Amino acid sequence: MIKDIERKLVSEEEIDEITSRIASQIYDDYRDSTRRLVLICILKGSLMFTSELMKKLRLPLEIEFMKVSSYGSKTTSSGMINIHLDIKREDLSDADFIIVEDIIDSGKTLSHLVQYLKEKGACSVKTCTLLDKPSRRTVDFVPDYCGRVIPDKFVVGFGLDYAEKYRNLPYVGILKPEVYEN
């Protein structure tokens, strides 16, 4: 697994700093709210990020899971979003939602999900991402909380995969292009 990594991009220490910083930003923004706070973990990629973040959030919160995918399993997204697992609750109007994502690329997944939850009646919807590749945007989208902006490289680890592999690396690394180019 490690032989396929070109170099480490975000270390374990930096991930720890990022999750602490975002947890305190969220704390400041929601500490006075009287509504329920719901984090939505987007499976599978944001599994590790969501769990690190929620450990550091000293606020009452609930957790939900959604599973979405864009067509195709290669290194670019097609822009067609499928929802494979939806949140179960019927009434979204009494809660503030924060969608927790691993990485933003074209921006289509998150802009679609924000729209979807608002149409379902969510009181408010914010977005939080560990990584952002703004140079790859095809739709206008800016996350509310962002761990780190990264260059246009395909990365894996800390939840992120290539063809379902590498999610268990404890850091984020750049995948060697030869792994996906043949």
CA distance 92 to 104: 24
Q: Pick from Mg ion, ligand IMP, none: which does 19 bind, CB < 5 to 8 A by kind? A: none
Site string for ligand IMP, 70-99 (x = CB under 6 A): x------x----------------------
Active site residue 105: yes
- Judged by beta carbon, residue 26 or residue 100, the one nearer ligand IMP is 100
Amino acid at 163: A
Does the protein bind ligand IMP through residue 158 (CB under 6 A)? no
Does the protein bind ligand IMP through residue 101 (CB under 6 A)? yes
Nearest Cα to 50, choosing from 75, 83, 15? Answer: 15
- The structure tokens listed for 155 are 């990365």
**C-alpha pair distances (Å), 115 with each of 28, 59, 122:** 25, 26, 10
Among 45, 107, 147, 157, the residue binding Mg ion under the rule CB under 5 A is: 45
Strand 172-175 to 155-156 pairing: antiparallel
Residues of this chain that bind ligand IMP (CB under 6 A):
45, 70, 77, 101-109, 154-156, 160
Q: Which residues are catalytic?
A: 105
